[in-house]
A and B are shown apart, each in its own frame.
Chain A
Amino acid sequence: MKLLVIEDDRETAAYLVKGLSESGYTVDHSGDGREGLFLATSGSYDAIVLDRMLPGMDGLAILGALRAAQIRTPALILSALGSVDDRVKGLRSGGDDYLVKPFAFSELLARIEALLRRGTQAPAETRLRVADLELDLLTRTVKRGDKIIELLPREFQLLEYLMRNAGHVVTRTMLLENVWDYHFDPQTNVIDVHVSRLRQKIDKQFEHPLLHTVRGAGYCLRAGA
């Protein structure tokens, strides 16, 4: 998988390139907006990570130019600006995800992986399955083995998101943004309690737990430990 990082701050860029390379990606880097745009249009990247404020050309302008040129490479915007308005603007101008600086590296990794998966998913799927856990999007029912599991509407959405990202780490912020559509830091551990309620329902009476906590990162739904 090939990534393009457009980031002008030398130190942040070095950290990104190092971290992403160590995580198994091939990484190109540009410290300038115009050059970044040139690379993004010419190279074939699986995803782009770009800073919002760049010399030469603003990150949002780069995205606008890319999308206008029908280049749909998924893009994650990094920004020091964290207000809701800024996020909304970033996502409207063609960004697929938005991460506020500074961020935990695990958060960035989880989001890049989610972006890369998005393109490969069969959209017409009506039934999701992880081990013996099955979620039917049409009848809105959940079964584990042959036991029917009753979920509240929000729990259903939460499980759907976890199942769509099965085998990968999803962070608390990703859950808050994608399942609840909230873009603020709720301070209290609200997400953890929702997840543990869901865990009660899908894992409690079964031998092999599926919903795992990943320390310092988030959660992961997968078969096996």
Chain B
Amino acid sequence: MPHATAVTIAEKLRLPAARPLPSAAALLRRAQRLVRTHAFRLAGLYFAVFVLSVLGVLFFVYWTSADFVERQTETTLDAEISGLAEQYAQRGLSGLVQIVAARSAGDRGDGMLYLVATAEGRPLAGNITGWPVGASASAGSLSFQIEVPGKRGEESHPARAKLFVIPDGYRLLVGRDIVEEVNRTAERVIAGNLSDRVPRLGTADEFDQLAANLNSMLDQIERLMAGMREVTDNVAHDLKTPLARLRARLELALLAPGNTAAQIEAIRAAIGEADRMLATFNALLSIAEAEAGAGSEAAERLDLGELAAAVAELYEPVAEEKGFAMRLNCAPGVLIRGDRHLLPQALANLLDNALKYGASPAGGSEITVAVLREGGRAVLEVGDRGPGIPERDREAVFDRFVRLEPSRSTPGNGLGLSLVRAVAHRHHATVALADNRPGLRVRLEFPEWTAAAE
């Protein structure tokens, strides 16, 4: 293993070597001169050597990594290198320097590291300020430390990279910031992509070990989730089949000739009871599923305002009939990533609550539905003018089967808000209850959809 030493990021410009970085224009001129004098003649041969070494590594990687996931991420690094090799073949060293400079220009959010250096290790372009000290000068994989600006000043992050020797001794390094990589994997897993894994380089050092442990933990979580889903499905099937039989028998009994009016009434009541039981059961299953995050692949880009307006439209006639004014205030173009079927269900639960509990004792009942953008968040609010929920109960009402004292006389199971919370979590949204002065205001805050996040 090459010895690991600290080097800094280009933006920070703390050079390990004494010489300052030459200006981009000077670099380019020098590179162009180089291209004219040497590269043109031998470009074809150089390219062949470069591509062969890339192919060789690809082949090696393919055979040595047992795990498919590893293979895939390896391929990302290698694909990056192949892409750069192609640039080199077409546009020579200046082309390579240009493209590496361009890729290093943006913020390092993706954790990719680049460096093109001379044979002596002097950087020509890249987002690492200098050649990692102690790194071997020959092709292969290496691990080292880099310094990056973090929350508390400079942080030292482990990094690893692949190194290629370009003809004439120029060296290309393409690598990754491991911490950044782990963070990004974690983000993707949290976002519902349970099968994502931390890429491994097969270097068998402590970081690779850490990645391996993280990955087996994720494997375990994924298995548990799959198991949970299966249990839910089986419970649904096994409990619903007898209920289905019961309901079917009641319906057949209803059709039998010679029933008295009283019998018909009793059977109807029993069917109603079975249906209520079933509704509760279905609500519990929906909550469990939303919590398990199953089916998050159903997420798509949605216009939150349009979605809210459509659900409000469904409830508007009922609201009017019950003496509520429905006010809609939806900003256009507020986009989120979400489930087109689950979100309306959550909003419907909130409107249902507003209709059940939100009548104003003073008259002038109204329900407001608002969608707005605030500080990079997409906000959905539902407000009413009823008695509201006292602060001490605002946590508890989200739990299953919790109903507050004054509501006991209205029908319900205490499951509506539980589903709202489960759906919110599934969308990485927060739910909060607030005083609407007077009334209740429920506020959901989603991460706003951005093109960059796709």
- Given the contacts A85-B295, A184-B344, A185-B279, A102 and B240 also touching, CB distance less than 8 Å: yes
Instruction: Report chain B residues within 8 Å CB of A19.
Output: 251-252
- On whether the beta carbons of B241 and A80 are closer than 8 Å, the reply is yes
Q: What 8 A-B pairs are tightest by C-beta distance, nearest first?
A: A102-B244, A85-B295, A84-B341, A80-B240, A193-B317, A15-B248, A102-B247, A184-B345
A-B contact pairs, 6 of them (CB 8 A): A9-B245, A12-B244, A15-B252, A84-B341, A190-B315, A190-B317
**Complex: chain A residue closest to B271, CB-CB:** A104
Query: How many Å lie between the Cα of A85 and that of B292 in the bound state?
Result: 13
The answer to whether A80 touches B244 (Cβ under 8 A) is yes
A190 to B348, CA, bound (A): 10
Closest to B344 in A: A182
Is A154 an interface residue, CB under 8 A from the partner?
yes
Structural contact, A194 and B240, CB atoms closer than 8 A: no
Mask, A183-202, CB within 8 Å of B = 1, is: 11111111001100100000
CA distance A18 to B298 in the complex (A): 38
Question: Is B211 in the interface zone, CB < 8 Å from A?
Answer: no
Counting CB contacts under 8 A, is A127 at the interface? no
A38 at the interface (CB under 8 A from B): no
Stretch of B68-76, B93-101, B281-289 at the chain-chain interface: B281-289
Residues of chain B contacted by A100 (CB below 8 angstroms): 282
B239-274 interface bits toward A, Cβ cutoff 8 Å, 1 = contact, 0 = none: 011011111110110010000000000000001001
- Give the complex CA separation of A102 and B270 in angstroms: 14
Q: Does A2 contact B (CB under 8 A)?
A: no
A88-B298, A101-B240, A101-B244 known; A83 vs B286 contact (CB < 8 Å): yes
A-B contact count (CB 8 A): 106
Q: Which residues of B contact A194 (CB under 8 A)?
A: 314, 317
Q: Which of A19, A154, A188 has the most CB atoms of chain B within a 10 A radius of its CB?
A: A188
B302 to nearest A CB, angstroms? 13
Nearest B residue to A12, CB-CB: B244
B interface, size bucket: 35 or more
CA of A53 to CA of B240, assembled, Å: 12
Instruction: Check B237–A11 contact: CB distance below 8 A.
Output: no
| A25 interface contact, C-beta 8 A | no
**Once the chains bind, are A81 and B236 in contact (CB under 8 Å)?**
yes
- Chain A minimum-CB-distance residue to B237: A80
Please name the residue on chain B nearest to A22 by beta carbon: B255
Docked CA distance A53–B348 (Å): 30
A43 smallest CB distance to B (angstroms)? 25
Q: Cβ of B318 < 8 Å from any Cβ of A?
A: yes
B352 is an interface residue with CB less than 8 A from chain A: yes
In the complex, which residues of chain B have a beta carbon less than 8 angstroms from the beta carbon of A22? 255
In the complex, chain A residues 141-173 whose Cβ is within 8 Å of any chain B Cβ: 154
Q: Does A56 contact B (CB under 8 A)?
A: no
Chain B: minimal CB distance from A214 (Å): 15
**Do A88 and B341 touch across chains, with their CB atoms under 8 A apart?**
yes
List residues 295-347 of chain B with CB under 8 A from any CB of chain A: 295, 298, 310, 313-315, 317-318, 321, 339, 341-342, 344-345
Instruction: Compute how far the CA of A186 lies from the CA of B314 in the bound complex, rounded to whole angstroms.
Output: 10
Decide: A101 and B241 in contact? CB cutoff 8 A: yes
Is B348's CB under 8 angstroms from A193's CB?
A: no
A188 / chain B contacts, CB cutoff of 8 Å: 315, 318, 352, 355
Are B244 and A83 in touch, CB under 8 angstroms?
Answer: no
Return the contact of A105 from the options B236, B251, B285 (Cβ within 8 A). Answer: B251
Are B274 and A186 within 8 A (Cβ)?
Answer: no
Known: A83-B286, A101-B240. A182 touches B314 (CB 8 A): yes
New A-B pairs, 17, CB < 8 Å, besides A9-B245, A103-B247 = A11-B248, A15-B248, A22-B255, A80-B236, A82-B236, A83-B295, A85-B341, A88-B298, A101-B241, A102-B245, A180-B314, A182-B348, A184-B345, A184-B348, A186-B348, A188-B318, A190-B317
A82:B244 contact, CB within 8 angstroms: no
Assess whether B279 is in contact with A81, with CB atoms less than 8 Å apart.
no
Q: Would you give the shortest CB distance from B144 to chain A, in whole angstroms?
A: 45
Q: Contact mask A6-28 → B, CB, 8 Å, 1/0?
A: 00010110010011001000000
Cβ < 8 Å to B, chain A residues 82-104: 82-85, 88, 100-104
Complex: how many Å from CA A88 to CA B321? 33
Within 8 A of A (CB), among B347-376: 348, 352, 355
Question: Which residue of B241, B314, B315 contacts A12 across the interface (Cβ within 8 Å)?
Answer: B241
How many Å lie between the Cα of A190 and that of B318 in the bound state?
Answer: 6
Which residues of A are found within 8 Å of B244, using beta-carbon distances? 9, 12, 80, 101-103
In angstroms, Cα B316 to Cα A197, docked, is: 11
Those of B200-216 within 8 Å (CB) of chain A: none
Inter-subunit contact A184/B341 (CB<8 Å): yes
In the complex, A190→B255 CA distance in Å?
A: 29
Residue of A nearest to B355 (CB): A188
The complex places the Cα of A86 from the Cα of B35 at a distance, in Å, of: 61
